Amino acid sequence: MRSRRNGCAWPRPISTARRVMLLLLIGCAEALAQSGHPFDDAQGRHGDGHAEMHDVYKGWHPPGNPFTSCCNDADCRPTRAFVDDDGRWRAWNGSGWLIVPQERVLPADHAGDGRSHLCEKEGFVYCFTPGETRG
């Protein structure tokens, strides 16, 4: 119930127990946001996670074009991805979800680590491999 003070409605004060619970929840949320996660390198930002997989990436070629490389020293990296309602792959490049052209999709788990990987620069997708599907 709200009380009236000077004609304005004021919310009832929060109890000490609820205030403590709220502060604990905020603290836990902040700790989780700052904690490391094994797939933090899968944020899709250009260059993130490239170095550890460079030897794998340098042998990748777009499907149907064995004379072109997908990798240009920092274009490939682990990423997040999903299949949209139209059945197209979408991959995160660090700033937005890109539609992956079907002709740029490599076999699933082509990197061999269970993660999705994207080779892209300035919105142009060179290659993409979906990771293991999780249900």
Tens digits of residue pLDDT in 78-107: 999 999 999 999 999 999 999 999 999 999
Taking the C-alpha atoms of residue 45 and residue 76, their distance in angstroms, rounded to an integer, is 10
3-class state of residue 29 by DSSP: helix
Say yes or no to pLDDT of 110 above 50.
Answer: yes
Is the pTM here over 0.85, yes or no? Answer: no
Q: How much is the pLDDT for 99?
A: 97
* Predicted confidence (pLDDT) per residue in 19-69, tens digit: 766 666 565 455 444 433 334 445 555 455 556 777 888 889 888 888 888
Q: Are strands 124-129 and 116-121 parallel, antiparallel or unpaired?
A: antiparallel
Which residue, among 37, 134, 127, 38, has the nearest Cα to 91 in the 3D structure?
127
Ranges of each domain in the chain: 3-34, 50-129
Q: Is 46 exposed, middle or buried (0-12, 13-18, 19+ CB in 10 A)?
A: middle
Integer Cα distance of 111 and 113 in angstroms = 6
Burial class of residue 94, CB neighbours in 10 A (0-12, 13-18, 19+):
middle
